[in-house]
Structure 1
Amino acid sequence: MAALGTAMVAGRRTARPRLAAGATAFLQMTLFTVLGVVLAYALAAQSGALWDQRLAAADRAIGFDWPVVLRLLDMAPAVIWVLGLAYHSLTVQMVVVIVCLSALSKFDTLRTAVCAAILSGFVTILISGLTPALGNLFDPSHYRHLWPSVAWVEQGLIAGLRDGSHHVLDLTTLMGIVSFPSFHATLAAIFIWAFRAIPRLSVPGSAWAILTIIATPVFGGHYGVDVIMGLILAPPAIMLANRLTRRRPSPQSVGAVLPA
């Protein structure tokens, strides 16, 4: 954060707006990540009854049969690798979006994307505090090729937060523990919108983010309704962020373009 803050100040003082914009975006996302995950941990430690049964019932009601999906996916190792890498590349996608938008001087799109990510992130964390869940767990030992999901790996952490046995936060190993809604899905949807402003990456970048969304239930250990709700949150977050970050012209600049 010190390095990013230095780059931000240097960019502003040396009239290099692309450096300043990129460093500012990375600094904002880094601060949000630290604060957001700590807030998620605190809410998990104070949350009530788990919602897993209700979320699983909602999945069944809309036709998600995860045992069948997992069995079919386990028969396609190449697909597992593609989807697994897409899911775990969300941070890389964020880096690509910020670097490309700042390099192309797409500052309005960059501000909106970062603001939307932060707004939706805090909303998902707050909702998850009201609807705590362990996640759509499956035992990877029952399959030949499937990787363990994040929810499977972190179930001990969530249990420790809930019973009070885990009460020390190591800022170097913080993990995302939000189940409903899926912030992975929300952020990937925001990146699809942002990639549209990068001509050469519009199609491949959008495809990359779409694969991330498809992979989220399996590799994130999310229910289908988690992902659906995450996708629903993206458009209003983008619209609100666009309003909040819109640059209004100064009175001097308005007077310069209006007829006398």
Structure 2
Amino acid sequence: MNKPRFLLISLVLVSHVLVFGLARLLSMKIDFEPLLNLYGLIIVVFGSGILYASLRNMPPLRMALECVAYGFILTVPAAIATYLAIKVNMPLADEALVRMDAALHFDWHAFIRFIDERRLLAMSLAAAYFSFSFQLLGIPLLLVMFGRGPRAYAMVASYGLICFVASLISIWYPALGTYVVYGVSQEQLSHINAEFGFYFLQQFNAVRSDPDFVFSINRLAGILTFPSVHAAVAALCAWAMWDVKWLRYPFAVWNSMMAISAVSHANHYLVDVIAGVGVAGLVIAVVSMICGSQLTRAHTRSIFKGPLPVSSIH
């Protein structure tokens, strides 16, 4: 088993034990029915596909299916971890985050005004923002297609680690975010869709104040502000595709836009984005150190060139 794959499988197992244990310790109720339905669907659909690919000796298909399956499974403890962080109910950190932005001489109102006055720019940033899930799903598949299976496993593992590190930091930085604090409503905007600047508030307030709150994967919302997971994933996606030379720059530009869109189209301060990129850098460095050269060489040939002999696949 290659190191990135071993890391991902280990993270999936350990995170389930730790996160569900912490949920019980912190008395957070969980709706298990949709979780069991999700796990069942993954086992039936992806498990059968992985078994078929293994029996038919089709490593690229097996790697692609495993990355997607483990990614879906890892999302569960990662999501619960974000809610546990906010449930600790530390004082709101918006004032501190506003001061940090001021120290950087960042004028949020001027930035939003600049974006909102330019329809094409606002629409482009919105598209970049909404590409979050599509990239997390699609990039591992692209990496497998181009013979970078270990890098695909490493990307999925890194995503989980980013969520857990961000959750740990966010314990001390729960925040309502920019649109609420600066008092800007959707009605005041011409071209920016600020839905996600407000969408998370019901879940954010409920997990902090409602003793009867029940976590449900069906009502999942991104409730972390500092650091920005969106910006961290943007950095991760850019790193993941950097090894594919003819796609590195398009993905770098696109994900720079996705990081910027966390400020314009969500609830993030500029310092959230900077911190998110920092978290991604830390996680990528650790994962790269663990996995070593397996992340920088192809273990299967690109599907456009045909497979390597089975004996050359490790």
SS of aligned partner of 2:218? coil
Question: In structure 2, do the counterparts of structure 1 residues 35 and 53 end up closer, same or farther at CA, with 3 Å as the change threshold?
Answer: same
Report the equivalent of 2:264: 218
Q: Answer yes or no: is the 8 Å Cα contact 1:149–1:218 preserved in 2.
A: no
SS of aligned partner of 2:276? helix
Q: Answer yes or no: is the 8 Å Cα contact 2:199–2:221 preserved in 1.
A: no
**1:54 correspondence with 2:96:** yes
**1:191 correspondence with 2:229:** no
**1:22 correspondence with 2:64:** yes
What is the letter of the counterpart of residue 121 of structure 2? V
Report the equivalent of 1:35: 77
Q: Answer yes or no: is the 8 Å Cα contact 1:216–1:227 preserved in 2.
A: yes
Q: CA deviation at 1:247?
A: 7.9
Instruction: State the alpha-carbon separation in 2 of the partners of residues 157 and 23 from structure 1.
Output: 32
Q: CA deviation at 1:105?
A: 1.9
Q: Deviations over 1:81-133 (max 9, x none)?
A: 00011011111112221111111221222122222222122100111122211
Report the equivalent of 1:254: none
Q: Answer yes or no: is the 8 Å Cα contact 1:124–1:181 preserved in 2.
A: yes
What does residue range 243-258 of structure 1 map to in structure 2 within 5 Å?
A: 243-246=289-292
Report the equivalent of 2:173: 131
Instruction: State the alpha-carbon separation in 2 of the partners of residues 210 and 106 from structure 1.
Output: 23
Report the equivalent of 2:156: 114
Moved more, 58-67 or 191-200: 191-200
What is the letter of the counterpart of residue 270 of structure 2? G
Report the equivalent of 1:237: 283
Moved more, 78-87 or 158-167: 158-167
Report the equivalent of 2:108: 66
Question: In structure 2, do the counterparts of structure 1 residues 126 and 242 end up closer, same or farther at CA, with 3 Å as the change threshold?
Answer: same
Q: CA deviation at 1:165?
A: 6.0
SS of aligned partner of 1:141? helix
Instruction: State the alpha-carbon separation in 2 of the partners of residues 44 and 236 from structure 1.
Output: 22
What does residue range 76-95 of structure 1 map to in structure 2 within 5 Å?
A: 76-95=118-137
Unaligned 5+ segments in structure 1 are 249-260
Instruction: State the alpha-carbon separation in 2 of the partners of residues 246 and 25 from structure 1.
Output: 19
Instruction: State the alpha-carbon separation in 2 of the partners of residues 167 and 71 from structure 1.
Output: 37
Q: Answer yes or no: is the 8 Å Cα contact 1:116–1:240 preserved in 2.
A: no
Provide TM-score, normalisation by structure 1. Answer: 0.89
Identity of aligned residues (%): 25
Q: Answer yes or no: is the 8 Å Cα contact 2:82–2:163 preserved in 1.
A: no
- How many residue pairs match? The answer is 248
Q: CA deviation at 1:203?
A: 2.1
Provide TM-score, normalisation by structure 2. Answer: 0.74
What is the letter of the counterpart of residue 204 of structure 2? I
Instruction: State the alpha-carbon separation in 2 of the partners of residues 10 and 241 from structure 1.
Output: 30
Q: Answer yes or no: is the 8 Å Cα contact 2:101–2:270 preserved in 1.
A: yes
What is the letter of the counterpart of residue 241 of structure 1? V
Instruction: State the alpha-carbon separation in 2 of the partners of residues 118 and 130 from structure 1.
Output: 20
**1:12 correspondence with 2:54:** yes
